[in-house]
Amino acid sequence: MTLARHEPFPDIARQREADRFGMVVFLASEAMLFGAVVMGLFALRTFEPAAFAATSQRLNLVAGSVNTAVLLTSSLLVAIGAEARASDRAALAKWMLAAAAALGLVFLVIKGSEYVQEYGEGLMPGVGPRQDFATPGARMFMDGYFIATGLHALHVTIGVVMLAGCAWRLRGDDPPSIVGVGNIGLYWHLVDIVWVFLFPILYLSR
Amino acid sequence: MPLGRLLFTWVALLVLLSLTIASSFLPIGEWRQVINFAIAIAKAALILWIFMKMRDEAALVQLAVIVAAVLLLVLGGLLAADYGLRGPSPYVSIDANTAAPHFP
Amino acid sequence: MLKLLGLDLPEASAHAAHVDTLIGAFTVLILLLAGPVIVLMFAFGIRYRRGKQVNREHAPNRNVALEVSWTIVPFLLILGFFIVSAKMFFTIHEPPADAMSISVVAKQWMWKFQHPEGQAEIDTLHVPVGQAIKLTMTSQDVIHSLYIPALRLKQDVLPGRYTQLWFTADRPGTYHLFCAEFCGLDHATMGGSFVVLPPAAYARWLAAQASGGSLATAGGALYRRLGCGACHGSDDTARAPRLTGLYGSTVTLAGGQRVVADDQYLHDAILDPNAQETAGYKPIMPTYRGVIGEEEAMQLVAYIRSLKSVPEERR
Amino acid sequence: MSRAGMHDAAREDLAPLRTEAEAASYLGGDTSLKAWLTTTDHKRIAILYLITITCFFAIAAVAAALIRLELLTPQADLLSAEGYNRAFTIHGIIMVWFFLIPSIPNVFGNFLIPLMIGARDLAFPRLNLASWYIFVFGGLFTLAAIVFGGVDTGWTFYTPLSSTYANGNVVLALAAVFIAGWSSILTGVNFIVTIHKLRAPGMTWGRLPLFVWTHYATALILVLATPVLTVTLLLVAAERIFGLGIFNPALGGDPLLFQHLFWFYSHPAVYIMVLPAMGVVSELVPAAAHKKLFGYWFVAYSTLAIAFLGFLVWGHHMFVSGESMYASTIFSFLSLIVAVPSAIKVYNWTATLYKGSIALNAPFLFAMGFIGLFVMGGLTGLMLALLAIDVHVHDTYFVVAHFHYIMVGGAVTAFLGAAHFWWPKMFGRMYNEVWGRISAVLIFVGFNVTFFPQFLLGYMGMPRRYHVYPPEFQTLHDISTAGAGLLGLGYLLPLIYFLYSFRHGEPAPVNPWDATGLEWTVPSPPPEHNFEETPIVLRDPYDYPLSHDSSLR
């Protein structure tokens, strides 16, 4: 079932352009949201750069690196899935999107394990057995870390649900439209780009 | 979009990832942040250009991406104007001889 | 013009007079720029009323030269005002070296002024006329703002940081003093009065005030009460750095940076000692944030400042 | 009192559809409550927004009345400190986010953009309805905040007061604005895509009415600035609930960072409020003078210039807040540049009137009122952008007068001008012209009597948000309160004769003002699908050949 022509649009091609353009404009607003958090982190960093670097070292770099690779790979799978849907190879598209959703889950699991580890080490501000913050700057870093990665994890969860939904619908006879799969792909790639910026800022400012 | 280009981009992204991790161990102080940021921009550009197919997109859509990026740089730049220059700005920070309440 | 309406804000300093002339001049510029628009609008409205037979031939729809001129000319005029006001802004932010310093602590809904000789007063600030005064201000809870309309000056007072305001009042009298940044319930009643006294009257007022001892002596008593001497007092400097001569000297931190031991450094070292560890010392000093307030921190800083044994070390 | 959200039956008692035009229009057809609440017709959604923001305006106007009455006397006799703080906070929050920002874009933008560009509806009709529901959902949170005792942080939510020391239900208010923010973002996306992708054949950018240009610029700001506000308020809520410390100095954060992120949104937000008003005036003035707009491209490009430059100047709200003085100087200089495009617009409107044939009906009186008050507001804004003057008058009644001149004198006057100009087209009924002119003059006089004395109060040093003040300010406050009474009366009049026009207004012709523009080529009220077949646009906007001028006929 290709996309039905909606009321206000004279022809289907223009409607596809509009849907995709609308998604890109919405993703621009999402980028501004994460950009504001990152700029806030940079501003706070100028107060105590040493504390930021010290606390960044206490994060689990291996988990962060693996997570980045996981997201990059899932981005590739989504790109291939979108290509497959565009060339009407529904089976390939289905598997690709399902795999991407699975990798998204892997990301969330790794992220969750990091949070548990930080909870135990007392790095979670205001929560947990003990508070192990040497300086206010360390606490600021961890506040920023939880805000940024929390918001990002929320967006990853939404993405995983949408990818899984798409894969499920591709299985049946009512596949999502090409533009629909393309838009979910755009969303997933933006979530990946946000992590591409968050990873060095949080994990590598050692 | 040929599969080869997608795979090549993926490999390039992983290479850049390992590069940025490696660079964080170099003893070059603040320069690592600059390198990390540059590599992050490169990776983001690759994802935008290839995965999000901005390469063959109308100029209008590319403009939407650029405008968002420019505004974030504006926010960062003018924030830096305040946070970076707060130090020497005399009335805010207190330097040794003039600021402190000194006693006869 | 305002004096005609019986509204007359006293000018208690030279800066106040400058600000008034700047406001007056800009009001004239506003009339110059807004006047033609309003006058022309009414004139055209009446002259070219629909139905009136009047010459409406070849009405212009664009005129690039006109557009450019009415853009550039106002911009240049305003640019002149910008330069003048920026210069004034810089002068009110660079206090002279010989300014008499008064410490100000703002708390939810009251101002506490501490004169150098130790006299403290609540919600009222007495200053001698003609003497440059510098207020070093901090807040103990939310953002307040010290506003003295007679001096045309205000400065926000931020918690956790020192901000500064300096002036030279040159007309004796009693003026309003307000809090200008909304700070909660009694923001409206948090003001007081700003009293400018001739030098003789100021000296008499100072003497009459029950001198609570200078900041430094109060700091010394606090230093002993809190037992800081246990680590800092003894001669062996293994446990903690010596405080005499510390003020104004350059300290190398654990991270290798070199920082001047100024007011802010000492304040942070007391309230968050581990934030800036001194090189060669373990971070064993307990934090005093929450144990002592901003006023006590100021007293300790004043006491450490008075422990100078090596004067020429200071820059 | 609070009728926001729920469909207000009393206001909606449409007259029995006597005229056949109404029966065939979008107002006809299924007029059940369910049809209205599930419509995706941009015209009906515009009406839903009109009802909702009128209710919110009523609530905030009551708060304003309480404030002005309290300030009659130097002592606190009508409201206690607590009551006063909560009154001005609710007045601020509702007026900014629940009336001014949605007023012209969501009511007239929704209704007119598809009509003006020759489209049948907005690009995403269902998203349009969703943004109204999100707006109402946010509104319910505001009403909950009022019912549970209000908020006492001011509409600016400055930390650490809002994050640690305020005890009103701050989180409810933050949630309300957070949700209303998403409604703005969705509206912005809808407008941008519609204006790009749904213009009729021949409708090039050079033939777009300026109303559409200004809404394009407003949509850009809505989409790009609002997310920064939503994440900032999210951080403040996280501080109150989970004890994070980003803005809390006691934990090492920086209260100035909140002010930076808040004003990075809030200054472009004042352009969200004033740009649509400029769009309305750019339509009214040529229609008034029956003459092409002077310097079309200058006005169009200055609209986009305002939208972009609006993002560079937020620091002029923080000259005395402890920002580094070098940053203050940079922001002061940039604020001068942003004033230039506004000046271009005002001069072009005035030049349009030269050699026109001007009919001084109610909409055009409102447009003239807008130009007069906007010039005053804009130039006093320039005064505030000068560093040395701002140090004296920041956070005083001078600032209160300045932004009321722009928001009330500008945006609300233009909103009423738009209401009068397009009322016949929206509802197919003519309002009473004499009463329209009376209310325009009454509002202009009432406004000036209310807010001009506040400039003097501000210069004299009367700080903002004070319910107790030194006695020498009393006379000016009394004049201002008297003016507020006049202004309140002025705002009630349109409400009355507009409702009256539903039942007794005679049916409106297709083009009552002989104005150009595609929206005047469809019957009023327009049919469900706007145009039988998509129009082909050949002529430039505002091409009023003098022969077209009715006075010569």
Q: Is A44 helix (H, G, I), strand (E, B) or coil?
A: helix
Helix (H) or strand (E) holding C120: strand C120-122
**Chain C closest CA to A134's CA: distance in Å?**
6
Q: How far is B14 from B6, CA to CA, in rounded Å?
A: 13
Cis peptide before C199 (omega within 30 of 0): no
Model pLDDT for residues C98-108, shown as the tens digit of each residue: 888 898 999 88
Chain B environment of A204 (Cβ under 8 Å): 20-21, 24, 32, 36
Predicted local confidence at residue B14, as pLDDT: 94
B37 and B6 assigned to the same domain:
yes
- Residue A35 to residue A38: CA distance in whole angstroms: 5
Examine residue A4 and state whether it is found in any structural domain, yes or no: no
Residue D235 confidence (pLDDT) above 90: yes
Measured between CA atoms, the residue of chain B closest to residue A23 is B61
Q: What is the pLDDT of residue C310?
A: 39
Say if residue C85's pLDDT is above 90: yes
* CB-CB contact of B74 with C78 (8 Å): no
Give the range among C237-241, D212-216, D260-264 with minimum mean pLDDT: C237-241
Q: Domain of D122?
A: 39-552
CATH code, domain carrying D298 = 1.20.210.10
Q: At residue D138, does pLDDT exceed 90? A: yes
Count CA atoms closer than 13 A to A17's CA, side-chain side: 19
CB C147 within 8 A of CB D461: yes
Contact, D43 vs D526, CB < 8 A?
Answer: yes
**Structural tokens at position D175:** 């949630």
Subunits next to A (3 or more Cβ pairs <8 Å) are: B, C, D
Q: How many domains does chain D have?
A: 1
Task: Identify which of D315, C177, C299, C155 has the alpha carbon closest to the alpha carbon of residue B91.
Answer: C155
Mind telling me how many Å the CA of A47 is from chain D's nearest CA?
9
D465/C86 Cβ within 8 A: no
Question: Cα separation of D371 and D377, whole Å?
Answer: 10
Chain-chain contact of C184 with D152 (C-beta, under 8 angstroms): yes
Over range A173-196, report the average pLDDT. 92
The answer, yes or no, to whether residue D14 has pLDDT greater than 50, is no
Find the residue in C nearest to B87 (Cα). Answer: C264
- The distance of A89 to chain D (nearest Cα, Å) reads 29
Rounded to an integer, what distance in angstroms lies between the CA atom of residue A123 and that of residue A59?
A: 9
- On whether the pTM is more than 0.90, the answer is no
> What is the average pLDDT score of chain C?
84
Question: Which site among B53, B57, B65 would you substitute to test the A interface, given the most A Cβ atoms closer than 10 Å to its Cβ?
Answer: B53
Chain C residues lying within 8 Å of B97, measured CB to CB = 97, 248, 314-315
Contact of B19 with B39, CB cutoff 8 Å? yes
Q: Is residue B82 within 8 angstroms of chain C, CB to CB?
A: no
pLDDT digits (tens, 9 = 90+) for C119-160: 888 899 999 999 999 998 988 889 999 999 999 999 999 888
Question: Tell me, what's the pLDDT at C311?
Answer: 36
Residues paired with D396 in a beta bridge: D463
What is the mean pLDDT of the segment spanning D67-76? Answer: 93
Q: Which residues of A touch D232 (CB under 8 A)?
A: 36
Q: Which amino acid is at A187?
A: Y
Smallest CA–CA distance, residue D40 to chain C, in Å, is: 40
In single-letter form, the type of residue at position D473 comes to F
pLDDT tens per residue, range D262-283: 999 999 999 999 999 999 999 9
> How many C-alpha atoms does D101 have within 13 Å on its Cβ side?
28
Three-class SS state of D67: helix
pLDDT average, residue stretch C209-218: 66
The parent domain of residue A140 ranges over: 12-203
Give the phi and the psi of residue D243 in degrees, each rounded to 5: 75, 25
pLDDT band at D210; cut points 50, 70, 90 = very high
How many domains does the structure of chain B reveal? 2
Helix/strand/coil for A105: helix
Cα dist from C217 to C101, C307, D334, whole Å: 17, 11, 49
Are the beta carbons of D295 and D233 closer than 8 angstroms?
Answer: no
Q: Are D404 and D484 in contact (CB under 8 A)?
A: no
Cβ–Cβ contact B83 with C under 8 A: no
Instruction: Specify the pLDDT at position A62.
Output: 93
**pLDDT value for A47:** 82
Q: Do B98 and C95 touch (CB under 8 A)?
A: yes
Of C292-306, D421-435, D522-536, the least confident = C292-306
Indicate whether B51 and B2 sit together in one domain. Answer: yes
pLDDT averaged over chain D? 90
Which of D44, D45, D197 has the highest number of chain A CBs within 10 A, making it the mutation to test binding with A?
D197
pLDDT for res D37? 93
Q: What is the arithmetic mean of pLDDT over B67-80?
A: 92
Mean pLDDT in residue range C77-97: 92
Cα D396 off chain centre by: 23
Rounded to an integer, the average pLDDT of D61-89 is: 93
The answer to whether residue D323 neighbours chain A at the CB level (below 8 Å) is no
Report yes or no on D95 lying in a domain. yes
Inter-chain touch B82–D324, beta carbons under 8 Å = yes
Confidence of residue D18 (pLDDT cuts 50, 70, 90): low
Decide if B94 and C164 are in contact by the 8 Å CB cutoff. yes
Decide: D304 and D212 in contact? Cβ < 8 Å: no
* Three-state secondary-structure class, residue C311: helix
* Residue D197 belongs to some domain of the structure: yes
What's the gap in Å between the CA of B2 and the closest CA on chain D?
Answer: 29
Cβ pairs A/B, distance under 8 A = 104
Whether D261 has its CB under 8 Å from any CB of chain A: the answer is yes
Contact partners for chain C, using 3 or more CB pairs closer than 8 A, are: A, B, D
For tokens 């604020």, name the residue: D335
C1: helix, strand or coil: coil
Highest mean pLDDT among C60-69, C93-102, D219-228: D219-228
CA dist., res. C100 & res. C115, Å (int):
9
Confidence of residue B103 (pLDDT cuts 50, 70, 90): very low
Q: Beta-carbon neighbour count of residue D403 at 10 Å?
A: 19
Query: Is D224 in Cβ contact with B86 (below 8 Å)?
Result: no
**pLDDT, average across residues D8-28:** 60
pLDDT band at D367 (very low <50, low <70, confident <90, very high): very high
**CA distance to partner chain D, nearest, from residue C303 (Å):** 24
- Interchain pair A199, B40: CB under 8 A: yes
Contact A135 C274 (CB under 8 A): yes
Distance from CA of C248 to the nearest CA of B (A): 5
| Cβ <8 Å between A50 and C257 | yes
The single-letter code of the amino acid at D387 is: L
Total number of domains constituting chain A: 1
The interface residues of chain B toward chain D in range 30-89, judged by CB-CB distance below 8 A, are 60, 67-68, 71, 74-75, 78-79, 81-83, 85-86, 88-89
Please judge whether A137 and C283 are an interchain contact, meaning their C-beta atoms are less than 8 angstroms apart: no
C132-139 and C100-107 beta bridge pairing:
parallel
Tell which of A25, A65, A75 to mutate to test the B interface (max B CBs under 10 Å): A75
Q: Phi, psi (5° rounding) for residue D313?
A: -115, 10
State the Cα–Cα distance between residues C92 and B92, nearest whole angstrom: 12
Judge contact between D177 and D192, C-beta under 8 A: no
Domain with residues C235-313, CATH architecture:
Orthogonal Bundle (1.10)
Distance from CA of C273 to the nearest CA of B (A): 19
Within 8 A by CB and 6+ apart from C5, the residues are D456
The whole-number pLDDT of residue C293 equals 78
Residues ≥6 apart with Cβ < 8 Å to C248: B96, B97, C260, C261, C262, C308, C313, C314, C315
For residue A34, give both structure tokens. 């994460």
CB-nearest to D327 from B60, B74, B82 is: B82
Of D25 and C84, the structure prediction assigns the larger pLDDT to C84
Tens-digit pLDDT profile for residues D517-541: 888 888 888 988 888 888 888 888 8
What's the pLDDT at A126? 74
User: What pLDDT is attached to residue D468?
Assistant: 93
Predicted local distance difference test score (pLDDT) of residue D58: 96
Question: What's the maximum distance between 2 C-alpha atoms anywhere in chain A?
Answer: 63
Any domain includes D454: yes
Percent of chain D with pLDDT over 70: 95
State which residue of chain C sits closest to A133, comparing Cα positions: C274
Tokens of B25: 């161990």
The reply to whether A3 falls in a domain is no
Q: Which CATH number fits the domain that encloses residue A143?
A: 1.20.120.80
Q: Is D173 helix (H, G, I), strand (E, B) or coil?
A: helix
Residue of A nearest to D258 (CA): A40
Give yes or no for a contact between B49 and B69, defined as CB atoms under 8 angstroms apart.
no
Best residue in B7, B13, B92 for a mutation probing chain A (most A CBs within 10 Å): B13
What residue type is assigned to position A146 of the chain? F
D73 C-beta neighbours (distance < 10 Å), count: 16
- Distance, in Å, from the CA atom of C105 to the CA atom of C140, rounded to the nearest integer, reads 7
Helix, coil or strand: residue C5: helix
Whether B91 and C94 lie within 8 Å, measured CB to CB: yes
Of chain A, the percentage scoring pLDDT greater than 90 comes to 60
Higher pLDDT, A4 or D142: D142
What Å distances lie between residue C275 and A67, C7, C136, D84, D346, CA to CA? 31, 52, 23, 42, 54
List the domain range (segments joined by +) for residue B9.
1-56
Q: How far is CA A204 from CA A54, A64, A121, B20, C246, in A?
A: 11, 10, 19, 8, 36
pLDDT for the residue A7: 73
Q: Is B30 on the interface with C (CB under 8 A)?
A: no
**C-alpha–C-alpha distance, residues D536 and D168, integer Å:** 56
Task: Determine, yes or no, domain membership for D15.
Answer: no
**Each residue of C240-277: pLDDT tens digit?**
787 877 877 888 877 777 777 877 888 888 887 777 77
Question: Would you call C135 helix, strand, or coil by DSSP?
Answer: strand
Q: Cβ of D298 and C67 within 8 Å?
A: yes
The answer, yes or no, to whether residue D221 has pLDDT greater than 60, is yes
Q: Does residue C113 sit in helix, strand or coil? A: strand
> Looking at CA atoms only, how far is residue B20 from chain C in angstroms?
24
What's the complex ipTM?
A: 0.87
Note the residue count of chain B: 104
pLDDT in tens, B1-20: 688 899 999 999 999 999 99
Residue C3 has pLDDT above 50, yes or no: yes
Domain membership flag for residue A5: no
Closest CB from C93, C94, C136 relative to B101 = C136
Please judge whether B91 and C248 are an interchain contact, meaning their C-beta atoms are less than 8 angstroms apart. no
Choose among D244, D246, D271, D270: nearest CA to D259: D246
CA distance D433 to D418: 14
Choose the closest CB to B85 out of D224, D228, D324. D324
Q: What is the SS3 assignment for A129?
A: coil
Q: Is B98 on the interface with C (CB under 8 A)?
A: yes
**Interchain proximity A50–C274, CB inside 8 Å:** no
Domain assignment present for B22:
yes
> Is D387 touching A (CB cutoff 8 A)?
no
| CA-based nearest residue in chain B for residue A181 | B52
Read off the amino acid at residue D317.
Answer: H
CATH code that applies to domain C100-208: 2.60.40.420
Nearest residue in B to C163, CA atom: B92
D484: Cβ contacts below 8 Å, ≥ 6 apart? D64, D65, D68, D446, D450
Lowest mean pLDDT of B58-62, C224-228, D104-108, name the range. C224-228
So what's the pLDDT on residue D547? Answer: 45
What pLDDT score does D146 carry?
Answer: 93
| Mean pLDDT confidence for C227-237 | 72
The stretch D465-488 carries a mean pLDDT of 93
Question: How many whole angstroms separate alpha carbon C101 and alpha carbon C198?
Answer: 18
- Give yes or no for residue D72 having a pLDDT over 90: yes
The average pLDDT across A68-77 equals 95
- Count other C-beta atoms under 10 Å from residue D293's C-beta: 24
Stretch D115-133: mean pLDDT, rounded?
A: 93
SS3 B104: coil
Q: By the CB < 8 Å criterion, does B90 face chain A?
A: no
State which residue of chain A sits closest to D182, comparing Cα positions: A29
DSSP-derived secondary structure for C218-262: HHHHHHHHHTTHHHHTSS-TTSS---TTTTTSEEEBTTS-EEE--
- What are the helix and strand counts (H, E) for chain C? 7, 12
- Chain D residues in contact with A40 (beta carbon < 8 A): 235, 246, 257, 261
Cβ-count burial of D206 within 10 angstroms (0-12 exposed, 13-18 middle, 19+ buried)?
A: exposed
Is the CB of residue D251 less than 8 Å away from at least one CB of chain A? yes
**D553 vs C261: which has the higher pLDDT:** C261
